[in-house]
Structures are given as structure tokens and as C-alpha cells.
């Protein structure tokens, strides 16, 4: 598949370079065929989505999850309204959702020796809604694989358009944020810290 790996300007520790090359190759070569309709269908399995497994970012940059029932499971229709308004959502721990995602987790398990924490970030797209959290960083390395849709990222002080076919490497403590996403998008983010 030979994706474009976006990591200019940021270096990984020498001990991490071979490990990351192997993880990036696995993620890059692994086909993930899922579209917006399929993700929305999976979200209708309400018992799969307890509180804290799905979050939406409101216009002020605060996490909102007031679309859960009193028993703690997703009220899909209430969440879908926010999605249709253009608010982005984060779906936690998604590597169990489809055979392709489970296969990716199995391949990474052979390299990491542990299961991989991975999230979907999705948005219907909007010219007026916030696309992501404010610039932030993590204390672990992240690999981002766009599934569909393009968006503009702030990485450090650089702005880049990221599209499917790119693999984005965010070394630990690298400031980043999605600045703009005007079309439907889905990205898979994977915590691949060694």
C-alpha cells in the first residue's frame, strides 16, 4: 500500500525506531474497510456502548456524554442528533468491532506483546463546529490511520492536510489537534507505546 508517513520534524528515540517501523508497516498494510453507514450501524448496538466508551466534543471544547440512558447505555437517537449537527465523537477501544479490526489487533499483539488501545474519531464534518480538542499531547506514542475523509491537522507548529493513504506518527509529547474537518471523516488512532 505504501502510505505516506507523516513524521517530519519529530524524531523517535533510537530504541523505538525499529519497533515503530514494524508497527507502522503493519498498520499501513492492513486494510480497514468501514464506512460511515457501517459505523453508525455498530453504534446502534447500544449494550456495546456503556458510558465512557463514547464521547462527543461540544462547541466549547468540553466532552459531552449526556446521551446515555439511566442504565448507562447509549441512547443512539440522542447521540445521532449531535453527530448530525457536526459535533465530533470519539469511540473508545474499537479493535473488537469488526473482523478486520480484530485481525489488526492480533498482528500488533505479536509485535507489542499486549493488546492495543485504539479509538475512532469521527465527524460528519462542519465549517462552523470545532473539529477536535484544543492542541494537546499524550505521554505515549500514537499512530493515526485515516479511514475516510480529509482534515487539517496542527502538529507542533506545522499545519498538514491528512487524507486516507497517510499514516501519521505522533511521538509522545508532540502537540497536535485537528483544526478543520469539513467533510465526513473517520480516523483510527492507536496507542503503540513500547
Q: Which pTM was predicted?
A: 0.89
Q: What would the pLDDT profile of 55-85 be if each residue is shown by its tens digit?
A: 998 887 788 888 999 999 999 999 999 999 9
b/e code 91-105 from CB counts within 10 Å (16+ = b)? beebbebbeebeebb
Confidence of residue 194 (pLDDT cuts 50, 70, 90): low
Domains in the chain and their CATH numbers? 4-191 (2.60.120.650)
Distance in angstroms (rounded) separating the CA atoms of residues 153 and 162: 7
**102 versus 6: which is more confidently predicted?**
102
Give percent of the chain above pLDDT 70: 93
Output the CA–CA distances (angstroms, integers) from residue 51 to 28, 92, 136, 191, in the order listed.
Answer: 31, 10, 23, 21
Q: What would the pLDDT profile of 113-125 be if each residue is shown by its tens digit?
A: 999 999 999 998 8
H helix or E strand, kind and range, residue 128: none
DSSP symbols for 43-98: HT-GGG-BTTSEEEE-TTS-EE-TTB-TTSBB-HHHHHHHHHTT--EEE---TTSS
Question: Residues near 37 by Cβ (< 8 Å), separated by ≥ 6?
Answer: none
Confidence of residue 170 (pLDDT cuts 50, 70, 90): confident
H helix or E strand, kind and range, residue 180: strand 176-180
Amino acid at each position: 500500500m505504501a502510505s505516506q508517513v507523516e513524521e517530519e520534524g519529530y524524531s523517535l528515540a533510537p530504541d523505538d525506531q525499529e519497533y515503530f517501523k514494524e508497527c507502522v508497516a503493519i498498520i499501513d498494510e492492513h486494510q480497514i474497510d468501514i464506512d460511515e453507514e457501517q459505523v453508525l450501524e455498530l453504534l446502534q448496538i447500544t449494550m456495546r456502548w456503556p458510558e465512557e466508551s463514547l464521547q462527543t466534543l461540544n462547541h466549547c471544547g468540553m466532552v459531552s456524554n449526556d446521551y446515555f440512558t439511566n442504565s448507562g447505555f447509549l441512547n443512539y437517537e440522542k447521540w445521532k442528533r449531535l453527530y448530525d449537527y457536526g459535533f465530533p465523537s470519539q469511540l473508545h477501544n474499537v479493535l473488537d468491532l469488526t473482523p478486520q479490526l480484530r485481525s489488526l489487533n492480533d498482528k500488533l499483539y505479536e509485535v507489542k506483546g499486549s493488546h492495543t488501545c485504539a479509538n475512532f474519531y469521527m465527524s460528519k464534518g462542519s465549517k462552523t463546529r470545532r473539529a477536535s480538542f484544543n492542541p494537546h499531547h499524550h505521554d505515549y506514542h500514537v499512530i493515526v490511520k485515516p479511514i475516510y475523509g480529509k482534515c487539517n491537522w496542527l502538529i507542533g507548529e506545522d499545519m498538514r492536510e491528512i487524507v486516507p493513504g497517510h499514516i501519521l506518527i505522533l511521538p509522545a509529547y508532540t502537540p497536535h489537534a485537528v483544526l478543520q474537518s469539513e467533510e465526513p471523516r473517520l480516523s483510527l488512532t492507536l496507542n503503540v507505546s513500547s
